[in-house]
Structure 1
Amino acid sequence: MYFETASNDHGLPHDPLKALIAPRPIGWISSLDANGIPNLAPYSFFNLLSTNPAIVGFSSATQKDSQRNIELTGEFVCNFASVDLIDKINTTSKHVAANVNEFELAGLTEAKSHIIKAPRVLEARAHLECEYVKTVELPNDDNGIVWSLVLGKVLAVHIDDRFIKEGLVDTLAMEPLTRMGYMDYGVLGGMETRERP
């Protein structure tokens, strides 16, 4: 198969590109609106982009509540998405009115952050408290959809002590939930280690 992205003429029922760039980590982003109402939403276009300073980023098609809240308040939390929370994570992806508290919608517990005001998901196995850096509008193809990359500086890290073993984070034991293509999620099945040459 060969197709060019400008025409997207692959002939398949769904765009296969997202199924090729996989698995992708999920940024489960919590924020507060101007009235202090929490928002919680998963983003499958998410990653740690640098260290020293530690910068994370997530992107979205069209401006959603998370982006508006973050640009307004200057902060957000990245909550660790794990396999045991798949149904709750999926519930928080539902498009609801801005004044709906997704923590309550999904039956999750708000936990206070240490440095910022935005709440953490108590049930998550790790959290990154972040300070908003900037939003980068990504190039578009005049199709009316504007993608934005929201960047944040990690100010504080929370890790459930159960997953620190022999001085290292046991990522495999944390069972990160990842995003594949279509409606599919991925689970890490193993790990291989190589020393750098």
Structure 2
Amino acid sequence: MRVDYSPESLDPGSFYRLLTAVIVPRPIAWVSTLTADGETANLAPHSFFTVASTDPPVVQFTSVGRKDSLRNVEESGEFVVNFAPEPLFEQINATATDFPRKEGEFDAVGVEREPSLRVKPPRVAAAPVALECTLHATLGLGNCTVVFGRVVHAVVSEDVLMDGHPEIGLLRPLSRLGRNEWGTVGEVRDLARVPYRDWIGTTDTTGTAGTGISGGQS
């Protein structure tokens, strides 16, 4: 038994809450920006966030409505995606408050900042990872704007590296769920992809198509 939901029969707010409850978990882009005059540093979490391209490296986040992050990026052409770790949970949530544009969240919430290397907006000093971005493009979709940023520099704290690679247990990323719910990593499962050459039937000389996967993985 299933329950049907039609976007045409629900108000946008109700369908928004449905989408955010079922598209989970969502990684968080903790976006820092500067106003065009360079006087106010804004900081806000955006949970519609992912990688858009790997070569060149481009990340994307979505602004629902015209928020300060979007306005600042449009005017300055730069932003930083700061990693959102579990220990900074309360500060991340506090920066989602709708402060006036000229009242920067760094100062209002008490988030320590540090200078970026390639862009003007500051980084969150306590964030274990930061991606410095220049604006690649924006795309308007309904009541939202998708912001694409080319990553021009990345910085990772040595404290979260293991054998030169960011380790999930040290990163401790937060994610957004439905309603006011947040997620942490929890159990992590490790499973490699199966190469096609190891898929049963790919090297079968009998002419019989196989099913399933072979017992070993390489």
Mark yes or no: TM-score above 0.5: yes
**1:14-163 pair list within 5 angstroms:** 15-36=17-38, 37-138=40-141, 140=142, 146-163=143-160
- Over the residues paired in the alignment, what is the CA RMSD in angstroms? 1.6
Cα displacement (A) at 1:98: 0.7
- Structure 1's 172 and 50: CA in aligned 2 closer, same or farther, altered over 3 A? farther
Distance in 1 of aligned mates of 2:102 and 2:70: 15
- Provide the identity percentage: 37
Distance in 1 of aligned mates of 2:170 and 2:187: 10
Letter in 2 for 1:32: L
Cα displacement (A) at 1:194: 1.6
Distance in 1 of aligned mates of 2:16 and 2:140: 25
For 2:71, what is the secondary structure of its paired residue? helix
Letter in 2 for 1:20: V
Letter in 2 for 1:74: G
- Structure 1's 13 and 2: CA in aligned 2 closer, same or farther, altered over 3 A? closer
Letter in 1 for 2:184: V
Q: Which TM-score applies when normalising by structure 1?
A: 0.91
Mapped contact 1:91–1:105 kept (Cα < 8 A): no
Equivalences, count: 189
Gaps of 5+ in 1: 141-145
Corresponding residue for residue 187 of structure 1 = 184
Q: State the 4+ residue runs in structure 1 displaced beyond 3 angstroms.
A: none
Corresponding residue for residue 201 of structure 2 = none
Distance in 1 of aligned mates of 2:43 and 2:64: 17
* CA displacement 1:1-39 (0-9 Å, x = unmatched): 211122228xx8983221110000001000100121101
Cα displacement (A) at 1:167: 2.7
Cα displacement (A) at 1:63: 1.0
- Out of 1, 4, 19, the position equivalent to 1:2 is 4
More relative contact order in 1 or in 2 (CA 8 Å, sep 6+)?
A: 1
The structure having more radius of gyration, on CA atoms, is 2
Distance in 2 of aligned mates of 1:15 and 1:107: 30
Mapped contact 2:159–2:170 kept (Cα < 8 A): no
For 2:44, what is the secondary structure of its paired residue? strand
Distance in 2 of aligned mates of 1:50 and 1:120: 22
* CA displacement 1:64-119 (0-9 Å, x = unmatched): 11111111111100000011111101110000111001001111111000011110
Letter in 2 for 1:180: L
For 2:190, what is the secondary structure of its paired residue? coil
